């Protein structure tokens, strides 16, 4: 039984120029064995060292790819035609482990290469890495500049704003010459000048629940440089759902925070802040101001954590919240724990897809809860006057209590309150408090509904207390 | 080994690479085989890996179709061209790993959207390396 083997042009140099060869055999494998026995030079072009067919070599028995039949075990019949068909593949060297460094790159990164923790291997990892920065503003500026200078191969940027004069006091990736331009164009020009080897991927859009998964999915690490709560929760939840690390930073006036939220290895943003502050309570930089150097410091810490994660060096900020006070020039650190009841990364998550974050953060909605409030100053005065007769109930979670609490308060997390009402005296005067005042208002409603008549909620929560009464108390 | 390409066809390849930037373009070089291969026609093909800006793939059925078409004009597939956006016009490890012998692999370097350089390569018979071949760009008039 004999079949015809058709040889493609590039391989005819190994078959003495023949374009077809007649060979005997019962199966495709036997025919190939006969082919290699007659023309040994073909072997390395058709097969890998382990004996498997190379993935760009296609064998068609008559009209059908043998991968869709029984591969080399496919039986053949007299008169069959076995055709070797090339597929042609290639590409530029910007992917994965093969991202080699050119001579110019070796020179450019020489101060990195001298560090054993980076070296050629680490620099190639940087070159292969894909990092997304959300926002090209105060944090995104130093962050993207250092990532580009460090040789991170692909930097994606999400932003839809234009460069404004008020930005330039801190957003150092932009300049006077790019006023009025889209921030993406402005940042791309500057970053390409810093390092032309870097590929900038521009996402000129607002990050939304509709597009976030699609955009974030393409990157290894997401760096959050946003200035608002809806986007921060959106980035967090999308990172948890996609299993990506989220390098977090935030700034306000003279204070900044940084951490790495990575649900696979530690807590997420929601483990720390289960709920956003009420809308309008925490002013934005536009409302409250910010010292221009501050985002430089926090954004640089985010760049540092990103680079460390890529090269696998050092201890990361996973499970730690770094607090920076620029006026006191003091760094503090809080240990964070994964919250087993976290709605997105806990043991029984209730958030399995992206939600409406504007609504979640109460933007555009009327406050759902209302009731009598007490200011921090009044509370302080009344506590001194009334002593233990005034019952102060902290309805936050235990890990928040550990960060800071008001002396004399009782911890009853909001979730436990309904079943622990029996611990409270219905006639006593009660003040509820939480972080910013949202949960405590819910607690107040719950207590009122259960017949407690003398209940007030601390306006602004423990944050207002730490701001005005017990200055020096850790804030988060 | 020499690959001869007219200035006109080389210009077409440059423009195609610039248009595809930051993605990669790819296509077929068809012409007269021999000690000096002369390119007579360029055939654009579908890049089956267009979603990945660093890769190109010409499917076997596409190549067969192109081969049938050029043989109709008594030409042969001589090789392939593709662009390296912001990378040197030298074969990547991936190029070498997937190369076929005999074919010419013409690479055009696109720097920030501009074609700056083209080189041509052939796989060594023992697959050990991609060897540079001379590229003769000639003026037709």
Q: Which residues of B78-107 are buried (b: 16+ CB within 10 A; e: fewer)?
A: bbbbbbbbbbbbbbbebbbbbbbbbbbbbb
Per residue in A357-369, pLDDT (tens digit) is 988 887 655 455 6
In chain B, residues with a C-beta closer than 8 Å to the C-beta of A13 are 101-102, 125
Q: Would you call A434 a catalytic residue per the annotation?
A: yes
Instruction: Give the tokens for residue A211.
Output: 């597009």
At residue A78, the 3 state secondary structure works out as coil
d(CA B47, CA B41): 18
Selected for mutation to probe chain B from A14, A89, A130 (highest B CB count within 10 Å) is A89
With an 8 Å Cβ cutoff, are B60 and A58 in contact? Answer: yes
With an 8 Å Cβ cutoff, are B57 and A87 in contact? Answer: yes
d(CA B3, CA A286): 62
d(CA A269, CA A43): 56
ipTM score assigned to the predicted complex: 0.88
pLDDT (mean) for A7-15:
92
**Chain B CB within 8 Å of residue A93 CB:** yes
Strand partners, A82: A5, A61
With an 8 Å Cβ cutoff, are B100 and A95 in contact? Answer: no
d(CA A288, CA A269): 23
What pLDDT, on a 0 to 100 scale, did the predictor assign at position A93? 60
Size of interface A-B (CB pairs under 8 A): 113
d(CA A77, CA A339): 66
| Closest by CA position to B80, among listed B23, B16, B24, B30 | B30
In chain B, residues with a C-beta closer than 8 Å to the C-beta of A91 are 24, 49, 52, 54-56, 82, 92, 94-95
pTM (2 decimals)? 0.53
CA distances from A58 to A7, A267, A329, A397 (A): 12, 48, 65, 61
d(CA A213, CA A241): 8
With an 8 Å Cβ cutoff, are A10 and B100 in contact? Answer: yes
With an 8 Å Cβ cutoff, are A9 and B93 in contact? Answer: no
| Closest by CA position to A165, among listed A181, A147, A142 | A181
d(CA A407, CA A55): 69
**Chain B CB within 8 Å of residue A102 CB:** yes
With an 8 Å Cβ cutoff, are B60 and A86 in contact? Answer: yes
Nearest C-alpha of chain A: how many angstroms from B86? 7
- Contact between A11 and A45 (Cβ < 8 Å): yes
Per residue in A203-262, pLDDT (tens digit) is 999 999 999 998 998 899 999 999 889 999 999 999 999 889 999 999 988 999 999 999
Strand B36-44 to strand B56-58: parallel, antiparallel, or no bridges (unpaired)? Answer: unpaired
Catalytic residue among A285, A342, A345, A361: A285
With an 8 Å Cβ cutoff, are A91 and B82 in contact? Answer: yes
Low-confidence ranges of chain B (pLDDT < 50): none
- Contact between A431 and A379 (Cβ < 8 Å): yes
What pLDDT, on a 0 to 100 scale, did the predictor assign at position A285? 65
Give the CB-side neighbour count of residue A286, counting CA atoms within 13 A: 9
At residue A265, the 3 state secondary structure works out as coil
When pLDDT is cut at 50, 70 and 90, the band that residue A201 belongs to is very high
At residue A471, the 3 state secondary structure works out as coil
Q: Among positive and negative, which fits the CA dihedral B110, B111, B114, B115?
A: negative
When pLDDT is cut at 50, 70 and 90, the band that residue A95 belongs to is very low
d(CA A11, CA A335): 64
**In B3-59, alpha helices (H):** 7-20
d(CA A200, CA A141): 14
In chain B, residues with a C-beta closer than 8 Å to the C-beta of A124 are none
With an 8 Å Cβ cutoff, are B54 and A100 in contact? Answer: no
The nearest alpha carbon in chain A to B94 belongs to A90
Instruction: Give the tokens for residue A164.
Output: 């404004």
Residue B60 has its nearest CB partner, among A85, A93, A192, at: A85
Q: Would you call A268 a catalytic residue per the annotation?
A: no
Per residue in A295-347, pLDDT (tens digit) is 999 999 999 999 999 998 899 999 999 999 999 999 999 999 999 999 999 98
Nearest C-alpha of chain A: how many angstroms from B94? 6
Q: Which residue has the higher pLDDT, A150 or A86?
A: A150
């Amino acid at each position: 039984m004999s079949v015809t083997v058709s040889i493609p042009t590039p391989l005819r140099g190994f078959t003495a120029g023949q374009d077809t060869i007649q060979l005997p055999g019962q199966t495709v494998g036997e025919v190939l064995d006969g082919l290699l026995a007659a023309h040994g030079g073909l072997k390395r072009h058709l097969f890998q060292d382990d004996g498997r067919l190379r993935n760009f070599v296609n064998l068609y028995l008559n009209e059908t790819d043998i991968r869709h039949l029984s591969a080399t075990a496919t039986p053949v019949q007299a008169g069959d035609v076995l055709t070797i068909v090339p597929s042609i593949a290639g590409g530029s060297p910007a992917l994965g482990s093969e991202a080699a460094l050119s001579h110019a790159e070796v020179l450019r990164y020489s101060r990195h290469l001298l560090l054993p923790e980076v070296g050629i291997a680490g620099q190639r990892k940087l070159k292969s890495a894909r990092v997304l920065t959300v926002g090209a503003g105060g944090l995104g500026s130093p962050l993207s500049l250092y990532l580009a200078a460090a040789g991170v191969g692909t930097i994606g940027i999400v932003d839809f704003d234009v460069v404004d004069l008020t930005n330039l006091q801190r957003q150092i990736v932009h300049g006077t010459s790019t006023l009025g331009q889209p921030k993406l164009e402005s940042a791309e020009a500057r970053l390409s000048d810093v390092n032309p080897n870097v590929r900038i991927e521009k996402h000129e859009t607002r990050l939304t629940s509709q597009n976030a998964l699609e955009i974030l999915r393409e990157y290894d690490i997401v760096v959050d440089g946003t200035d608002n709560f809806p986007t921060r929760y959106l980035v967090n939840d999308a990172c948890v759902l996609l299993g990506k690390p989220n390098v977090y930073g935030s700034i306000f006036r003279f204070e900044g925070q940084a951490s790495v939220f990575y649900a696979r290895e530690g807590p997420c943003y929601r483990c720390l802040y289960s709920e956003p502050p009420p809308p309008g309570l925490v002013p934005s930089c536009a409302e409250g101001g910010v010292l221009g150097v501050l985002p430089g410091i926090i954004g640089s810490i985010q760049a540092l954590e990103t680079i460390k994660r890529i090269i696998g060096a050092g201890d990361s900020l996973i499970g730690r919240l770094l607090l920076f006070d620029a006026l006191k020039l003091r760094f503090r650190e809080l240990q964070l724990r994964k919250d087993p009841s976290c709605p997105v990364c806990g043991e029984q998550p209730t958030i399995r897809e992206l939600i409406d974050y504007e609504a979640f953060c109460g933007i555009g909605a009327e406050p759902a809860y209302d009731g009598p409030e007490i200011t921090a100053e009044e509370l302080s005065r009344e506590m001194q006057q009334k002593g233990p007769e005034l019952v102060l109930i902290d309805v936050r979670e235990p890990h928040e209590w550990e960060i800071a609490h008001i002396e004399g308060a009782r911890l009853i997390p909001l979730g436990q309150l309904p079943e622990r009402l029996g611990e409270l005296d219905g006639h006593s005067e009660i003040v509820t408090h939480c972080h910013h005042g949202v949960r405590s208002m819910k607690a107040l409603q719950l207590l009122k509904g259960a017949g407690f008549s003398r209940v007030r909620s601390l306006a602004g929560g423990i944050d207002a207390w730490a701001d005005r009464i017990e200055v020096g108390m850790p804030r988060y | 080994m020499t690959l001869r390409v007219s200035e006109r066809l080389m210009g077409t390849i440059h423009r195609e690479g610039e248009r595809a930037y930051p993605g990669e373009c790819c296509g077929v070089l068809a012409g007269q085989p021999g000690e000096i291969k002369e390119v007579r026609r360029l055939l654009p093909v579908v890049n089956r890996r267009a979603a990945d800006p660093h890769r190109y793939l010409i499917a076997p059925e596409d190549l067969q179709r192109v081969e049938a078409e050029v043989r109709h004009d008594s030409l042969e597939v001589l090789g392939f061209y593709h662009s390296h956006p912001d990378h040197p016009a030298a074969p990547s490890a991936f190029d070498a790993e997937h190369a076929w012998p005999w074919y010419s692999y013409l690479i055009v370097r696109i720097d920030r959207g501009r074609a700056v350089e083209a080189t041509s390569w052939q796989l060594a018979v023992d697959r050990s390396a991609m060897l540079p071949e001379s590229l003769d760009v000639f003026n037709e008039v």
